[in-house]
Structure 1
Amino acid sequence: MKICYLILAHNNFRHLDRLIESLADADSSFYIHIDKKVTEIYTPSRDNIQAIPDRIDINWGGFNMIEATLALLNYGIAHSPDADYYILISGVDYPIRSKKFLYGLLEERKEYIDIASVPVPYKPAERYEYYYFDYDRRNLKYYNPKFLTEVLLKKFKIKRKAPFKIYAGTQWFALTQGCIRYILDIVNKDKRYIDFFRHTLIPDEAFFQTIIGNSSFYENTVSSLTYTDWEVPVPPATIEERHVEFLKTHIEFNDEYGQRFPYFARKFNDDSEKLLEKIERELW
Protein backbone atom coordinates (compact mmCIF):
# COMPACT_ATOMS: atom_id res chain seq x y z
CA MET A 1 0.00 0.00 0.00
CA LYS A 2 1.72 3.17 -1.22
CA ILE A 3 0.51 6.26 0.58
CA CYS A 4 1.22 9.88 -0.26
CA TYR A 5 0.60 12.12 2.75
CA LEU A 6 -0.29 15.73 1.97
CA ILE A 7 0.12 17.99 4.99
CA LEU A 8 -1.08 21.53 5.59
CA ALA A 9 1.13 23.07 8.28
CA HIS A 10 1.84 26.48 9.77
CA ASN A 11 3.23 25.85 13.27
CA ASN A 12 4.19 23.18 15.83
CA PHE A 13 7.03 21.85 13.68
CA ARG A 14 8.38 19.59 16.45
CA HIS A 15 5.01 17.87 16.52
CA LEU A 16 5.02 17.74 12.71
CA ASP A 17 8.26 15.72 12.84
CA ARG A 18 6.73 13.33 15.39
CA LEU A 19 3.67 12.94 13.18
CA ILE A 20 5.77 12.04 10.15
CA GLU A 21 7.90 9.57 12.15
CA SER A 22 4.73 7.82 13.31
CA LEU A 23 3.52 7.35 9.71
CA ALA A 24 6.74 6.76 7.80
CA ASP A 25 7.50 3.47 6.07
CA ALA A 26 9.28 2.36 2.90
CA ASP A 27 6.26 3.06 0.67
CA SER A 28 5.18 6.43 2.04
CA SER A 29 5.96 9.94 0.83
CA PHE A 30 5.26 13.29 2.46
CA TYR A 31 4.60 16.66 0.86
CA ILE A 32 4.04 19.66 3.08
CA HIS A 33 2.53 23.05 2.38
CA ILE A 34 3.91 25.68 4.76
CA ASP A 35 1.70 28.75 5.04
CA LYS A 36 3.43 31.68 3.34
CA LYS A 37 3.05 33.92 6.36
CA VAL A 38 5.24 31.56 8.44
CA THR A 39 8.78 32.88 8.87
CA GLU A 40 10.20 29.86 10.71
CA ILE A 41 12.24 27.56 8.47
CA TYR A 42 11.11 23.93 8.37
CA THR A 43 13.88 21.44 7.59
CA PRO A 44 12.64 17.96 6.59
CA SER A 45 14.13 15.12 8.62
CA ARG A 46 13.85 12.41 5.95
CA ASP A 47 14.62 12.05 2.25
CA ASN A 48 11.01 11.22 1.41
CA ILE A 49 9.74 14.53 2.86
CA GLN A 50 9.48 17.70 0.80
CA ALA A 51 8.11 21.10 1.61
CA ILE A 52 6.51 22.07 -1.69
CA PRO A 53 7.82 25.24 -3.36
CA ASP A 54 4.38 26.83 -3.78
CA ARG A 55 3.51 28.70 -0.60
CA ILE A 56 0.16 30.40 -0.24
CA ASP A 57 -0.89 32.92 2.39
CA ILE A 58 -3.97 31.21 3.85
CA ASN A 59 -6.84 33.11 5.43
CA TRP A 60 -9.31 31.16 7.53
CA GLY A 61 -12.53 30.71 5.57
CA GLY A 62 -11.03 31.83 2.27
CA PHE A 63 -10.48 30.24 -1.13
CA ASN A 64 -6.72 30.32 -0.66
CA MET A 65 -7.12 27.15 1.44
CA ILE A 66 -8.37 25.43 -1.73
CA GLU A 67 -5.43 26.83 -3.67
CA ALA A 68 -2.99 25.41 -1.11
CA THR A 69 -4.70 22.01 -1.18
CA LEU A 70 -4.69 21.92 -4.98
CA ALA A 71 -0.99 22.80 -4.94
CA LEU A 72 -0.40 19.78 -2.69
CA LEU A 73 -2.51 17.48 -4.87
CA ASN A 74 -0.74 18.54 -8.06
CA TYR A 75 2.67 18.17 -6.45
CA GLY A 76 1.77 14.78 -4.97
CA ILE A 77 0.49 13.40 -8.28
CA ALA A 78 3.57 14.72 -10.13
CA HIS A 79 6.14 13.35 -7.66
CA SER A 80 4.39 10.22 -6.36
CA PRO A 81 2.27 9.22 -9.36
CA ASP A 82 1.99 5.56 -8.33
CA ALA A 83 0.54 6.08 -4.84
CA ASP A 84 -2.58 4.09 -4.03
CA TYR A 85 -3.93 6.76 -1.67
CA TYR A 86 -3.43 10.49 -1.18
CA ILE A 87 -4.22 11.46 2.40
CA LEU A 88 -4.77 15.11 3.34
CA ILE A 89 -4.05 15.86 6.99
CA SER A 90 -3.13 18.77 9.21
CA GLY A 91 0.33 19.19 10.68
CA VAL A 92 -1.24 18.94 14.13
CA ASP A 93 -2.82 15.51 13.58
CA TYR A 94 -1.56 12.23 15.03
CA PRO A 95 -2.52 8.58 14.47
CA ILE A 96 -4.60 7.02 17.26
CA ARG A 97 -4.40 3.46 15.91
CA SER A 98 -1.70 1.19 14.51
CA LYS A 99 -0.58 1.26 10.88
CA LYS A 100 -2.15 -2.19 10.51
CA PHE A 101 -5.51 -0.58 11.37
CA LEU A 102 -5.03 2.01 8.62
CA TYR A 103 -3.92 -0.48 5.99
CA GLY A 104 -6.90 -2.69 6.79
CA LEU A 105 -9.26 0.24 6.13
CA LEU A 106 -7.53 1.25 2.92
CA GLU A 107 -7.70 -2.29 1.56
CA GLU A 108 -11.44 -1.69 1.19
CA ARG A 109 -10.62 0.87 -1.53
CA LYS A 110 -13.21 3.39 -0.35
CA GLU A 111 -13.05 7.17 -0.71
CA TYR A 112 -12.72 8.41 2.87
CA ILE A 113 -14.28 11.87 2.99
CA ASP A 114 -17.12 13.37 5.01
CA ILE A 115 -19.78 14.19 2.47
CA ALA A 116 -23.50 14.97 2.58
CA SER A 117 -25.94 16.94 0.46
CA VAL A 118 -26.44 20.49 1.71
CA PRO A 119 -27.97 21.49 4.10
CA VAL A 120 -25.51 19.88 6.52
CA PRO A 121 -25.41 20.56 10.29
CA TYR A 122 -23.15 23.56 11.10
CA LYS A 123 -22.78 24.39 7.40
CA PRO A 124 -25.65 26.80 6.67
CA ALA A 125 -26.96 27.38 3.16
CA GLU A 126 -26.00 31.06 3.30
CA ARG A 127 -22.34 30.05 2.87
CA TYR A 128 -23.23 29.13 -0.70
CA GLU A 129 -26.04 31.60 -1.44
CA TYR A 130 -24.18 34.86 -0.84
CA TYR A 131 -20.87 36.30 -2.04
CA TYR A 132 -17.79 36.09 0.17
CA PHE A 133 -14.21 37.26 -0.33
CA ASP A 134 -10.72 36.42 0.89
CA TYR A 135 -9.44 38.52 3.80
CA ASP A 136 -8.16 38.01 7.33
CA ARG A 137 -11.44 37.33 9.17
CA ARG A 138 -9.71 36.63 12.48
CA ASN A 139 -8.19 40.10 12.57
CA LEU A 140 -11.15 41.88 11.05
CA LYS A 141 -10.94 45.58 10.26
CA TYR A 142 -14.49 46.87 9.84
CA TYR A 143 -13.42 49.34 7.18
CA ASN A 144 -12.08 46.47 5.04
CA PRO A 145 -13.73 46.98 1.61
CA LYS A 146 -14.21 43.23 1.11
CA PHE A 147 -16.03 42.95 4.42
CA LEU A 148 -18.18 45.99 3.64
CA THR A 149 -19.04 44.56 0.20
CA GLU A 150 -20.20 41.31 1.82
CA VAL A 151 -22.41 43.23 4.26
CA LEU A 152 -24.01 45.30 1.50
CA LEU A 153 -24.67 42.29 -0.75
CA LYS A 154 -26.38 40.52 2.13
CA LYS A 155 -28.34 43.60 3.12
CA PHE A 156 -29.80 43.87 -0.37
CA LYS A 157 -30.25 40.06 -0.52
CA ILE A 158 -28.14 39.72 -3.65
CA LYS A 159 -27.78 35.96 -3.97
CA ARG A 160 -26.31 33.57 -6.50
CA LYS A 161 -27.39 30.18 -7.76
CA ALA A 162 -25.02 27.21 -7.74
CA PRO A 163 -24.54 25.59 -11.16
CA PHE A 164 -24.41 22.13 -9.55
CA LYS A 165 -25.66 20.24 -6.52
CA ILE A 166 -23.62 21.20 -3.45
CA TYR A 167 -22.20 18.70 -1.00
CA ALA A 168 -20.30 19.53 2.19
CA GLY A 169 -18.36 17.90 5.00
CA THR A 170 -15.09 18.31 6.87
CA GLN A 171 -11.82 19.28 5.29
CA TRP A 172 -9.67 16.14 5.57
CA PHE A 173 -9.73 13.08 3.32
CA ALA A 174 -8.05 9.90 2.10
CA LEU A 175 -8.77 9.42 -1.61
CA THR A 176 -7.67 6.88 -4.19
CA GLN A 177 -5.37 7.84 -7.03
CA GLY A 178 -8.24 7.52 -9.49
CA CYS A 179 -10.38 9.96 -7.51
CA ILE A 180 -7.56 12.49 -7.16
CA ARG A 181 -6.82 12.38 -10.89
CA TYR A 182 -10.51 12.87 -11.60
CA ILE A 183 -10.68 15.92 -9.29
CA LEU A 184 -7.65 17.55 -10.89
CA ASP A 185 -8.99 16.85 -14.37
CA ILE A 186 -12.37 18.41 -13.51
CA VAL A 187 -10.71 21.47 -11.96
CA ASN A 188 -8.73 21.99 -15.18
CA LYS A 189 -11.66 21.41 -17.54
CA ASP A 190 -14.68 22.79 -15.70
CA LYS A 191 -14.00 26.29 -14.40
CA ARG A 192 -17.44 26.52 -12.75
CA TYR A 193 -16.09 24.93 -9.57
CA ILE A 194 -13.33 27.47 -9.03
CA ASP A 195 -15.51 30.37 -10.19
CA PHE A 196 -18.30 29.46 -7.76
CA PHE A 197 -16.28 28.46 -4.69
CA ARG A 198 -13.91 31.41 -4.99
CA HIS A 199 -16.73 33.48 -3.44
CA THR A 200 -17.91 30.91 -0.88
CA LEU A 201 -17.36 31.02 2.87
CA ILE A 202 -15.13 28.15 4.13
CA PRO A 203 -14.97 26.47 0.70
CA ASP A 204 -12.55 23.78 1.93
CA GLU A 205 -15.59 22.13 3.53
CA ALA A 206 -17.47 21.86 0.22
CA PHE A 207 -15.21 22.21 -2.84
CA PHE A 208 -13.91 18.64 -3.06
CA GLN A 209 -17.14 17.18 -1.70
CA THR A 210 -19.11 18.87 -4.48
CA ILE A 211 -16.83 17.58 -7.23
CA ILE A 212 -17.03 14.04 -5.82
CA GLY A 213 -20.75 14.29 -5.06
CA ASN A 214 -21.48 15.07 -8.71
CA SER A 215 -19.44 12.09 -9.92
CA SER A 216 -19.58 8.30 -9.89
CA PHE A 217 -17.06 8.30 -7.02
CA TYR A 218 -19.84 9.44 -4.68
CA GLU A 219 -21.25 5.91 -4.45
CA ASN A 220 -17.94 4.68 -2.99
CA THR A 221 -17.57 7.30 -0.23
CA VAL A 222 -17.52 6.64 3.51
CA SER A 223 -16.73 8.88 6.50
CA SER A 224 -13.27 10.39 6.79
CA LEU A 225 -10.52 8.97 9.00
CA THR A 226 -10.13 12.00 11.29
CA TYR A 227 -11.58 12.42 14.78
CA THR A 228 -12.13 16.00 15.97
CA ASP A 229 -13.90 17.24 19.08
CA TRP A 230 -16.06 20.25 18.20
CA GLU A 231 -17.99 20.27 21.50
CA VAL A 232 -15.95 23.01 23.18
CA PRO A 233 -16.45 26.80 23.39
CA VAL A 234 -13.62 27.50 20.90
CA PRO A 235 -13.39 24.47 18.63
CA PRO A 236 -11.67 22.31 17.71
CA ALA A 237 -10.49 21.00 21.07
CA THR A 238 -6.85 20.16 21.72
CA ILE A 239 -6.72 16.41 22.43
CA GLU A 240 -6.44 15.58 26.14
CA GLU A 241 -6.44 12.44 28.29
CA ARG A 242 -10.25 12.44 28.38
CA HIS A 243 -10.27 11.98 24.62
CA VAL A 244 -7.91 9.02 24.90
CA GLU A 245 -10.32 7.37 27.34
CA PHE A 246 -13.17 8.02 24.90
CA LEU A 247 -11.25 6.54 21.98
CA LYS A 248 -10.45 3.37 23.93
CA THR A 249 -14.13 2.44 23.77
CA HIS A 250 -15.02 4.09 20.45
CA ILE A 251 -13.02 2.33 17.77
CA GLU A 252 -16.00 3.10 15.57
CA PHE A 253 -19.01 5.37 16.06
CA ASN A 254 -21.72 7.11 14.08
CA ASP A 255 -22.19 10.79 13.34
CA GLU A 256 -23.97 12.89 10.73
CA TYR A 257 -21.66 11.52 8.02
CA GLY A 258 -22.21 7.86 8.84
CA GLN A 259 -20.12 5.14 10.43
CA ARG A 260 -16.66 6.41 11.33
CA PHE A 261 -13.45 4.46 11.97
CA PRO A 262 -11.01 7.21 12.96
CA TYR A 263 -7.30 6.72 12.42
CA PHE A 264 -6.16 10.32 13.02
CA ALA A 265 -7.09 12.72 15.79
CA ARG A 266 -6.84 16.48 15.62
CA LYS A 267 -5.40 18.54 17.21
CA PHE A 268 -2.10 18.35 19.13
CA ASN A 269 0.81 20.72 19.63
CA ASP A 270 4.52 20.76 20.44
CA ASP A 271 3.72 20.12 24.13
CA SER A 272 1.70 16.94 23.49
CA GLU A 273 4.62 14.50 23.65
CA LYS A 274 3.55 12.76 26.89
CA LEU A 275 0.03 12.36 25.56
CA LEU A 276 1.37 10.88 22.32
CA GLU A 277 3.28 8.29 24.35
CA LYS A 278 0.05 7.39 26.15
CA ILE A 279 -1.77 7.03 22.83
CA GLU A 280 0.95 4.75 21.49
CA ARG A 281 0.84 2.61 24.65
CA GLU A 282 -2.91 2.36 25.06
CA LEU A 283 -4.50 2.80 21.60
CA TRP A 284 -2.07 1.39 19.03
Structure 2
Amino acid sequence: MMQAILILAHKDEEQLLKLVDRLDDCFEVYIHIDKKMSLSDRVKKSLSSNPRAHYVSLYDVKWGSFSIVEATVALIKLALENKEITYVHLISGEDWPLQDPQKIYDFFEDNNQIYMDFYRVGDAQKSGEPLLWWMKFYYNYDQVNRRSTFGKIYHRLLILTQRLLHVNRLKKYGFQDRNIFSGQEWVDVPRDALQYAIKTWDTDLRYQKLFSHSFCSDEFWLQTILGDTTYSQRIDRNMHRYINWERENGKTPAILDERDYEAIVKGNYFFGRKVKLSTSKGLLEKLNQSEKK
Protein backbone atom coordinates (compact mmCIF):
# COMPACT_ATOMS: atom_id res chain seq x y z
CA MET A 1 0.00 0.00 0.00
CA MET A 2 1.09 3.58 -0.68
CA GLN A 3 0.30 7.13 0.29
CA ALA A 4 0.44 10.09 -2.05
CA ILE A 5 1.32 13.71 -1.51
CA LEU A 6 -0.21 16.17 -3.96
CA ILE A 7 1.67 19.44 -4.40
CA LEU A 8 0.28 22.63 -5.93
CA ALA A 9 3.44 24.46 -7.00
CA HIS A 10 3.65 27.95 -8.46
CA LYS A 11 7.23 29.13 -7.91
CA ASP A 12 10.77 28.30 -6.79
CA GLU A 13 11.78 25.15 -8.65
CA GLU A 14 14.81 24.59 -6.39
CA GLN A 15 12.67 24.47 -3.25
CA LEU A 16 10.25 22.17 -5.06
CA LEU A 17 13.06 19.74 -5.87
CA LYS A 18 14.21 19.73 -2.26
CA LEU A 19 10.64 19.18 -1.07
CA VAL A 20 10.23 16.19 -3.39
CA ASP A 21 13.56 14.81 -2.21
CA ARG A 22 12.42 15.17 1.39
CA LEU A 23 9.20 13.25 0.73
CA ASP A 24 9.85 10.63 -1.93
CA ASP A 25 11.39 7.99 0.33
CA CYS A 26 7.95 7.49 1.87
CA PHE A 27 5.39 8.91 -0.54
CA GLU A 28 4.40 8.93 -4.17
CA VAL A 29 4.51 12.62 -5.13
CA TYR A 30 2.13 14.21 -7.64
CA ILE A 31 2.77 17.81 -8.62
CA HIS A 32 0.77 20.39 -10.52
CA ILE A 33 3.12 23.01 -11.94
CA ASP A 34 1.35 26.33 -12.48
CA LYS A 35 1.57 27.23 -16.17
CA LYS A 36 3.15 30.54 -15.16
CA MET A 37 6.05 28.63 -13.57
CA SER A 38 8.71 27.64 -16.06
CA LEU A 39 10.93 24.70 -15.17
CA SER A 40 14.53 24.48 -16.26
CA ASP A 41 15.58 21.47 -18.32
CA ARG A 42 17.65 20.28 -15.37
CA VAL A 43 14.63 20.26 -13.04
CA LYS A 44 12.42 18.62 -15.65
CA LYS A 45 15.02 15.91 -16.08
CA SER A 46 15.32 15.41 -12.34
CA LEU A 47 11.56 15.05 -11.87
CA SER A 48 11.10 12.89 -14.95
CA SER A 49 13.83 10.48 -13.87
CA ASN A 50 12.38 10.10 -10.37
CA PRO A 51 10.07 7.04 -10.37
CA ARG A 52 8.13 8.39 -7.39
CA ALA A 53 7.55 11.88 -8.81
CA HIS A 54 4.81 12.64 -11.32
CA TYR A 55 4.06 16.13 -12.60
CA VAL A 56 1.63 17.88 -14.91
CA SER A 57 1.17 21.51 -15.91
CA LEU A 58 -2.42 21.95 -17.00
CA TYR A 59 -3.74 25.24 -15.60
CA ASP A 60 -2.77 28.87 -15.19
CA VAL A 61 -3.69 29.01 -11.52
CA LYS A 62 -5.02 32.30 -10.17
CA TRP A 63 -5.76 33.16 -6.56
CA GLY A 64 -9.43 32.90 -5.61
CA SER A 65 -10.36 31.27 -8.90
CA PHE A 66 -11.76 27.94 -10.04
CA SER A 67 -8.39 27.03 -11.58
CA ILE A 68 -7.16 25.95 -8.13
CA VAL A 69 -9.97 23.41 -7.91
CA GLU A 70 -9.29 22.22 -11.46
CA ALA A 71 -5.61 21.63 -10.67
CA THR A 72 -6.48 19.85 -7.42
CA VAL A 73 -9.07 17.58 -9.03
CA ALA A 74 -6.61 16.73 -11.82
CA LEU A 75 -3.99 15.68 -9.24
CA ILE A 76 -6.49 13.62 -7.27
CA LYS A 77 -7.58 11.76 -10.39
CA LEU A 78 -3.96 11.16 -11.35
CA ALA A 79 -3.15 9.73 -7.90
CA LEU A 80 -6.26 7.54 -7.84
CA GLU A 81 -5.14 5.89 -11.08
CA ASN A 82 -2.60 4.09 -8.91
CA LYS A 83 -4.68 1.37 -7.23
CA GLU A 84 -2.07 1.06 -4.47
CA ILE A 85 -2.69 4.57 -3.16
CA THR A 86 -4.69 4.34 0.06
CA TYR A 87 -4.29 7.86 1.47
CA VAL A 88 -3.76 11.29 -0.08
CA HIS A 89 -2.34 14.54 1.35
CA LEU A 90 -2.67 17.95 -0.30
CA ILE A 91 0.00 20.60 0.30
CA SER A 92 1.44 23.58 -1.53
CA GLY A 93 4.92 23.98 -2.96
CA GLU A 94 5.62 26.36 -0.06
CA ASP A 95 4.78 23.77 2.62
CA TRP A 96 7.34 21.61 4.40
CA PRO A 97 7.17 18.48 6.60
CA LEU A 98 7.74 19.43 10.24
CA GLN A 99 8.35 15.84 11.33
CA ASP A 100 10.22 12.90 9.88
CA PRO A 101 8.19 11.91 6.78
CA GLN A 102 8.21 8.30 7.99
CA LYS A 103 6.41 9.36 11.18
CA ILE A 104 3.85 11.23 9.09
CA TYR A 105 3.37 8.18 6.88
CA ASP A 106 2.98 5.87 9.89
CA PHE A 107 0.30 8.08 11.46
CA PHE A 108 -1.94 7.76 8.38
CA GLU A 109 -1.27 4.07 7.68
CA ASP A 110 -4.48 2.06 8.24
CA ASN A 111 -6.20 5.35 9.16
CA ASN A 112 -9.63 6.04 7.70
CA GLN A 113 -10.18 9.45 9.29
CA ILE A 114 -10.50 12.58 7.15
CA TYR A 115 -8.40 15.48 8.44
CA MET A 116 -9.62 18.85 7.25
CA ASP A 117 -10.75 22.25 8.38
CA PHE A 118 -14.53 21.84 8.20
CA TYR A 119 -17.60 23.83 9.19
CA ARG A 120 -21.10 24.57 7.97
CA VAL A 121 -20.89 28.08 6.54
CA GLY A 122 -24.04 29.48 8.16
CA ASP A 123 -23.40 33.10 9.14
CA ALA A 124 -19.58 32.87 8.94
CA GLN A 125 -17.76 35.83 7.43
CA LYS A 126 -14.34 36.62 6.02
CA SER A 127 -13.01 40.05 5.17
CA GLY A 128 -16.31 41.47 6.36
CA GLU A 129 -18.32 39.46 3.81
CA PRO A 130 -20.72 36.58 4.48
CA LEU A 131 -19.13 33.45 3.03
CA LEU A 132 -22.42 32.49 1.43
CA TRP A 133 -22.03 35.50 -0.88
CA TRP A 134 -18.94 33.80 -2.30
CA MET A 135 -21.16 30.94 -3.40
CA LYS A 136 -24.39 32.79 -4.24
CA PHE A 137 -22.91 35.40 -6.54
CA TYR A 138 -21.11 35.14 -9.88
CA TYR A 139 -17.32 35.73 -10.06
CA ASN A 140 -14.85 35.32 -12.90
CA TYR A 141 -11.44 35.45 -11.28
CA ASP A 142 -9.87 33.20 -13.89
CA GLN A 143 -10.15 36.27 -16.12
CA VAL A 144 -9.73 39.08 -13.56
CA ASN A 145 -6.84 39.40 -11.11
CA ARG A 146 -8.68 39.58 -7.80
CA ARG A 147 -5.58 40.81 -5.97
CA SER A 148 -4.99 43.80 -8.22
CA THR A 149 -6.36 47.24 -7.37
CA PHE A 150 -8.83 46.87 -10.22
CA GLY A 151 -9.76 43.38 -8.96
CA LYS A 152 -10.54 44.69 -5.48
CA ILE A 153 -12.81 47.42 -6.84
CA TYR A 154 -14.36 45.00 -9.32
CA HIS A 155 -15.11 42.56 -6.48
CA ARG A 156 -17.01 45.20 -4.52
CA LEU A 157 -19.00 46.24 -7.57
CA LEU A 158 -19.86 42.62 -8.39
CA ILE A 159 -21.25 42.08 -4.91
CA LEU A 160 -23.17 45.36 -4.84
CA THR A 161 -24.76 44.76 -8.23
CA GLN A 162 -25.72 41.17 -7.53
CA ARG A 163 -27.20 42.01 -4.15
CA LEU A 164 -29.40 44.61 -5.83
CA LEU A 165 -30.43 42.06 -8.46
CA HIS A 166 -31.07 39.34 -5.83
CA VAL A 167 -28.76 36.88 -7.58
CA ASN A 168 -28.74 33.46 -5.94
CA ARG A 169 -26.74 30.80 -7.76
CA LEU A 170 -27.27 28.35 -4.90
CA LYS A 171 -30.99 28.39 -5.55
CA LYS A 172 -30.40 28.18 -9.30
CA TYR A 173 -28.50 24.89 -8.92
CA GLY A 174 -30.72 23.39 -6.25
CA PHE A 175 -28.61 24.01 -3.15
CA GLN A 176 -29.78 25.43 0.14
CA ASP A 177 -27.66 27.62 2.38
CA ARG A 178 -27.31 24.79 4.90
CA ASN A 179 -25.75 22.55 2.21
CA ILE A 180 -22.59 24.67 2.00
CA PHE A 181 -19.49 23.80 4.02
CA SER A 182 -16.08 25.40 4.02
CA GLY A 183 -12.54 25.11 5.39
CA GLN A 184 -8.93 25.50 4.29
CA GLU A 185 -7.99 23.62 1.15
CA TRP A 186 -5.09 21.65 2.70
CA VAL A 187 -6.44 18.21 3.61
CA ASP A 188 -5.54 14.57 4.34
CA VAL A 189 -8.13 12.16 2.94
CA PRO A 190 -8.37 8.36 2.55
CA ARG A 191 -8.97 6.84 -0.84
CA ASP A 192 -12.62 5.88 -0.42
CA ALA A 193 -13.69 9.41 0.50
CA LEU A 194 -11.83 10.87 -2.47
CA GLN A 195 -13.32 8.29 -4.81
CA TYR A 196 -16.78 9.30 -3.61
CA ALA A 197 -15.97 13.00 -4.02
CA ILE A 198 -14.60 12.58 -7.55
CA LYS A 199 -17.50 10.38 -8.63
CA THR A 200 -19.93 12.99 -7.32
CA TRP A 201 -17.96 15.75 -9.03
CA ASP A 202 -18.09 13.96 -12.38
CA THR A 203 -21.72 12.81 -12.24
CA ASP A 204 -23.58 15.56 -10.36
CA LEU A 205 -22.59 18.48 -12.57
CA ARG A 206 -24.31 21.00 -10.30
CA TYR A 207 -21.13 21.10 -8.25
CA GLN A 208 -18.96 22.04 -11.21
CA LYS A 209 -21.49 24.66 -12.33
CA LEU A 210 -21.63 26.16 -8.85
CA PHE A 211 -17.93 26.22 -8.07
CA SER A 212 -16.72 27.25 -11.53
CA HIS A 213 -17.97 30.80 -10.90
CA SER A 214 -17.65 31.02 -7.12
CA PHE A 215 -14.99 32.89 -5.15
CA CYS A 216 -12.28 30.84 -3.36
CA SER A 217 -14.05 27.63 -4.36
CA ASP A 218 -10.95 25.65 -3.32
CA GLU A 219 -12.10 26.26 0.27
CA PHE A 220 -15.60 24.92 -0.37
CA TRP A 221 -15.77 22.17 -2.97
CA LEU A 222 -14.55 19.10 -1.07
CA GLN A 223 -16.07 20.13 2.25
CA THR A 224 -19.44 20.70 0.57
CA ILE A 225 -19.42 17.39 -1.31
CA LEU A 226 -18.62 15.45 1.87
CA GLY A 227 -20.59 17.68 4.23
CA ASP A 228 -24.02 16.09 4.35
CA THR A 229 -22.86 12.48 3.94
CA THR A 230 -21.76 9.71 6.28
CA TYR A 231 -18.18 10.68 5.44
CA SER A 232 -18.62 13.79 7.59
CA GLN A 233 -18.75 11.51 10.65
CA ARG A 234 -15.10 10.62 9.97
CA ILE A 235 -13.87 14.20 9.76
CA ASP A 236 -11.31 15.30 12.32
CA ARG A 237 -10.90 19.08 12.22
CA ASN A 238 -7.27 18.86 13.33
CA MET A 239 -5.43 19.64 10.08
CA HIS A 240 -1.99 18.98 11.63
CA ARG A 241 -0.76 22.10 9.81
CA TYR A 242 1.19 24.85 11.53
CA ILE A 243 0.27 28.25 10.11
CA ASN A 244 1.27 31.55 11.70
CA TRP A 245 -1.26 34.23 10.81
CA GLU A 246 -0.36 36.63 13.60
CA ARG A 247 2.78 38.21 12.13
CA GLU A 248 0.82 39.24 9.02
CA ASN A 249 -2.28 40.41 10.92
CA GLY A 250 -4.35 37.54 9.60
CA LYS A 251 -4.04 38.61 5.99
CA THR A 252 -1.66 35.93 4.78
CA PRO A 253 0.41 33.12 6.34
CA ALA A 254 3.77 34.35 7.61
CA ILE A 255 6.97 32.75 6.38
CA LEU A 256 8.07 30.46 9.19
CA ASP A 257 11.38 30.97 10.98
CA GLU A 258 13.08 30.13 14.29
CA ARG A 259 10.51 32.16 16.23
CA ASP A 260 8.00 29.42 15.42
CA TYR A 261 10.12 26.54 16.74
CA GLU A 262 8.70 26.31 20.27
CA ALA A 263 5.09 26.43 19.08
CA ILE A 264 5.79 23.74 16.49
CA VAL A 265 7.47 21.28 18.82
CA LYS A 266 4.74 21.75 21.44
CA GLY A 267 2.04 20.88 18.91
CA ASN A 268 1.33 17.82 16.81
CA TYR A 269 2.01 19.36 13.40
CA PHE A 270 2.92 17.44 10.27
CA PHE A 271 3.31 20.25 7.74
CA GLY A 272 4.25 23.91 8.02
CA ARG A 273 2.87 26.67 5.86
CA LYS A 274 4.62 28.56 4.56
CA VAL A 275 8.35 27.99 4.17
CA LYS A 276 11.03 29.84 2.23
CA LEU A 277 14.27 27.94 2.53
CA SER A 278 16.50 31.01 2.82
CA THR A 279 14.35 32.50 5.61
CA SER A 280 13.34 29.22 7.25
CA LYS A 281 16.77 27.58 7.20
CA GLY A 282 17.43 27.97 10.93
CA LEU A 283 14.02 26.59 11.86
CA LEU A 284 14.38 23.54 9.63
CA GLU A 285 17.86 22.82 10.99
CA LYS A 286 16.54 22.87 14.56
CA LEU A 287 13.65 20.58 13.59
CA ASN A 288 16.08 18.17 11.89
CA GLN A 289 18.22 18.10 15.04
CA SER A 290 15.11 17.32 17.11
CA GLU A 291 14.28 14.38 14.83
CA LYS A 292 17.67 12.80 15.52
CA LYS A 293 17.32 12.89 19.30
The TM-score by the shorter chain falls in which range? Answer: 0.7 to 0.9
Partner of 1:138: 147
Contact 1:58-1:65 within 8 A present in 2 as well = yes
RMSD, aligned CA: 2.4
By how many angstroms is 1:265 displaced?
Answer: 0.5
- Which has more helix, going by share of residues? 2
Residues 38-84 of structure 1, C-alpha deviations (whole Å, 9 max, x = no match): 234342442211212x4201111011111111111111112x22111
C-alpha separation in 2, matches of 1:191 and 1:146: 26
Partner of 2:35: 36
C-alpha separation in 2, matches of 1:221 and 1:15: 31
By how many angstroms is 1:100 displaced?
Answer: 4.4
Code of the residue aligned with 1:247 in structure 2: it is I
Q: TM-score, normalised by structure 2?
A: 0.83
By how many angstroms is 1:237 displaced?
Answer: 0.7
Q: In the alignment, is residue 126 of structure 1 matched against residue 133 of structure 2?
A: yes
C-alpha separation in 2, matches of 1:55 and 1:205: 20
1:111 paired residue among 98, 111, 114: 114
Extract unaligned runs of 5+ from structure 2: none
Residues 204-252 of structure 1, C-alpha deviations (whole Å, 9 max, x = no match): 011011011122211111122322122223411111111111112223x
Q: Secondary structure at the match of 2:147?
A: helix
Contact 2:257-2:282 within 8 A present in 1 as well = no
Contact 1:132-1:150 within 8 A present in 2 as well = no
Q: In the alignment, is residue 280 of structure 1 matched against residue 288 of structure 2?
A: yes
Code of the residue aligned with 1:69 in structure 2: it is T
By how many angstroms is 1:124 displaced?
Answer: 2.7
**Where do residues 12-23 of structure 1 align in structure 2 (5 Å cutoff)?**
12-23=12-23
Q: In the alignment, is residue 225 of structure 1 matched against residue 225 of structure 2?
A: no
Partner of 2:254: 237
By how many angstroms is 1:89 displaced?
Answer: 0.7
C-alpha separation in 2, matches of 1:266 and 1:9: 13
Q: TM-score, normalised by structure 1?
A: 0.86
Residues 108-148 of structure 1, C-alpha deviations (whole Å, 9 max, x = no match): 32111111111346373322232222221123436998885
Code of the residue aligned with 1:70 in structure 2: it is V
By how many angstroms is 1:159 displaced?
Answer: 3.1
C-alpha separation in 2, matches of 1:246 and 1:274: 15
**Where do residues 36-185 of structure 1 align in structure 2 (5 Å cutoff)?**
36-41=35-40, 42-43=43-44, 44-45=46-47, 46-52=50-56, 54-78=57-81, 80-107=82-109, 108-119=111-122, 120=124, 122=126, 124-134=131-141, 135-141=144-150, 149=158, 151-161=160-170, 163-164=175-176, 165-185=179-199
Distance 1:241 1:145, change over 3 A: closer
Distance 1:197 1:17, change over 3 A: same
My pick for the range that moved more, 96-105 or 14-23, is 96-105
The runs of at least 4 aligned residues of structure 1 exceeding 4 Å deviation read 142-151
Distance 1:143 1:161, change over 3 A: closer
Q: In the alignment, is residue 194 of structure 1 matched against residue 189 of structure 2?
A: no
Q: Secondary structure at the match of 1:125?
A: helix
Same amino acid, percent of matched pairs: 28
Residues 13-34 of structure 1, C-alpha deviations (whole Å, 9 max, x = no match): 2222222222222x52111101
